[in-house]
Structure 1
């Protein structure tokens, strides 16, 4: 299929555009010279621009301004961050799937997979279609196509597992997040807390582990968004209290808003309790029925 370059670039900032993009249509987006074909949009991550033009590229995206001999041969888009631009181009190519559903992003060092699956299953237990997507080994195209498939399945919610590298490489820049969840940071990754914090800049609500030393970074990044903390050590919106380990079972009281409920779980460790708190806090933003959440937690823990 051919896509209008004007439509693809509608939400993408450029430093400058050379050539008439209004009459330009592209057949495919490619990032490697070996993929270049007639009328493609070539995102020049590795250079080779002149060769791509000779092979028939219709438009080129680059962080460098064009050489004089490129002008008049292609539509040339000079951008500040090529990886961020690529992510947003794929979002446009797949017709912005994250704007058609509610997307929850879960990031941190540990607990991401468990938290994502808990959130997904809480929605399903309440009769709401939801799916989880692990972005760890995906590129920006695969993330957008994965979201498009979740939309196609009729889901109302998508829960994305997001490691540091995915944020660092701007692979989710084209995703509109509704809620961001922070689990924890290891000593090795704490130096990257400002990179993790990118996820929290344009969300409706942030769910933050107040027991983690870096929690303030995410609260500051979430300026303007609703912030909900969770903890098992101090006062928070969602808190685990009276934690007891007895006969191989952890027992605790989960307190959220005016609700308090006692749970027991054979899954050892503070991380497991934190994952439950994070998940419950996230789904309560959507007013998911509390009794259904309690039932689901009881089955899963």
Structure 2
């Protein structure tokens, strides 16, 4: 669909200068990628304003400019479309350009603070095992059935989303499971998408560097459910105090899941060990390879989605028992000397507490638990002392180190973490700036049978320092160090 008039369908237009009856090549919001007959969408970002690059885009061949503020000088050879919100406009332009692929696939969005990646990735895995062609849009990777692409954001930009959805349609995918972040919702990236269903996991302290208040963060998540169509389903975790809030105004089919309260999909943990979880879901017992109560919630959400999408209950339970854990989500190895090293993406206070509670549930208390944790730079600073407090309270030893310091001084981040440590826990903590050295120190401190938790980065294979990404993989490094010690 390459006629400008057609791709402007549903865009809230305030003014047009020039003709809309023209053929366009493609859509871009990065002026550096513009070529002849492109539409350039000027977006006001957090770091730069696309309106400053309108002249550059025109010089590179843009024939159409979509913007919130018209330039003072308008060229006769260019069509200018003034819109209310450029992000929202881009969402509809992208969907129309690719002929609305989300309407031709069963798209399920997963939102919440923790669990999005696990649920989306395991649903992809489950439906592949069930014999379907499936797509995945996640923090870890993008999958177009069997073909993998690198992911750069939790929720990609509108052009990327629609591009990959279109590719999924072309190879015959029936389903797509997608992480939906609060940033993505707030920046209207999902506005034009047609969802078959939505899942709410939980809500805790995160992204308050972006959202001014917790209430705003919650309401942005809620708006995703408010906008679901009548034909969709909305599944929410009612053990979370915000779970029922998500369903208040939705017209979608309402479904609930819980471990502690009455729900449509209810589970009881019968066994929780390093070998896996035994759950009673509704009235059926199932053994799974995943570990921890947080994964019991994830598995319940997956079970609920599977049933809503037409998989029979017995088949859904069988598939649950075959699912393998997701990279960097409670991923563990046990060394020859019986030291257990766990790598987890926990980068919020709530997620760290959940992982430490899970370890508490499966440990014997005859071993020591050593936790390595850092906090990301240029992100929510208020969680730093909370993370340190949780790590030092719930571990036998806590090592504070660098995560992705980005443009901040890593020592300053650690200082802000240390401020959260309570007096009785001082002796349990040490700070080591270099992350590799921190992991090495933990391995040196560990005795046979001990547990090392490396939290915060999970699946990431880099460390970002002053805008440069350096190769760094927690799991790979801890394996190498433990192997060296055992030679």
Question: What is the CA–CA distance in structure 1 between the aligned matches of 2:32 and 2:206, rounded to whole Å?
Answer: 37
1:125–1:292 contact (8 Å) kept in structure 2: no
Alignment RMSD (CA, Å): 2.3
Question: What is the CA–CA distance in structure 1 between the aligned matches of 2:184 and 2:306, rounded to whole Å?
Answer: 24
1:240–1:252 contact (8 Å) kept in structure 2: yes
1:40–1:59 contact (8 Å) kept in structure 2: yes
SS in structure 2 of the partner of residue 233 of structure 1? coil
Alignment CA distance shift 1:246-1:74 (3 Å): closer
Residue aligning to 1:201:
226
1:63 and 2:68 matched: yes
Residue aligning to 1:6:
5
1:121-155: CA deviation from partner (whole Å, max 9, x where unpaired): 33234333222221562332221111112112211
Aligned pair partner of 2:244 in 216, 230, 233: 216
Alignment CA distance shift 1:247-1:80 (3 Å): closer
1:18–1:71 contact (8 Å) kept in structure 2: no
Count of matched residue positions in the alignment of Structure 1 and Structure 2:
292
Q: Per-residue deviation at 1:282?
A: 1.1
1:234 and 2:281 matched: no
Residue aligning to 1:270:
293
Q: Per-residue deviation at 1:63?
A: 0.7
Question: What is the CA–CA distance in structure 2 between the aligned matches of 1:111 and 1:33, rounded to whole Å?
Answer: 35
Work out which structure has the larger RCO, using CA pairs closer than 8 Å and 6 or more positions apart in sequence: 1
Q: Per-residue deviation at 1:66?
A: 5.2
SS in structure 2 of the partner of residue 230 of structure 1? strand
2:257–2:264 contact (8 Å) kept in structure 1: yes
2:38–2:62 contact (8 Å) kept in structure 1: yes
Aligned pair partner of 2:27 in 29, 35, 45: 29
1:28–1:40 contact (8 Å) kept in structure 2: yes
SS in structure 1 of the partner of residue 110 of structure 2? strand
Q: Per-residue deviation at 1:246?
A: 6.2
Gaps of 5+ in 2: 44-49, 140-151, 208-213, 325-487
Question: What is the CA–CA distance in structure 2 between the aligned matches of 1:246 and 1:169, rounded to whole Å?
Answer: 40
Superposed, which structure 2 residues align to 1:56-95 within 5 Å? 56-65=61-70, 67=72, 69-70=73-74, 72-95=76-99
Question: What is the CA–CA distance in structure 2 between the aligned matches of 1:6 and 1:140, rounded to whole Å?
Answer: 19
Residue aligning to 1:20:
19
Residue aligning to 1:40:
38
Alignment CA distance shift 1:251-1:145 (3 Å): same
Q: Per-residue deviation at 1:236?
A: 0.6
Question: What is the CA–CA distance in structure 1 between the aligned matches of 2:35 and 2:192, rounded to whole Å?
Answer: 25
1:129–1:156 contact (8 Å) kept in structure 2: yes
1:21-47: CA deviation from partner (whole Å, max 9, x where unpaired): 12x121222223333433221112221
More divergent stretch after superposition (186-195 vs 277-286): 186-195
Residue aligning to 1:173:
191
1:145 and 2:177 matched: no
Alignment CA distance shift 1:274-1:39 (3 Å): same
SS in structure 2 of the partner of residue 220 of structure 1? coil
Question: What is the CA–CA distance in structure 2 between the aligned matches of 1:74 and 1:123, rounded to whole Å?
Answer: 47
Normalising to structure 1: TM-score of the pair? Answer: 0.88
Residue aligning to 1:244:
270
Q: Per-residue deviation at 1:50?
A: 4.3
Gaps of 5+ in 1: none
Alignment CA distance shift 1:212-1:73 (3 Å): same
1:97 and 2:101 matched: yes
Question: What is the CA–CA distance in structure 2 between the aligned matches of 1:80 and 1:267, rounded to whole Å?
Answer: 46
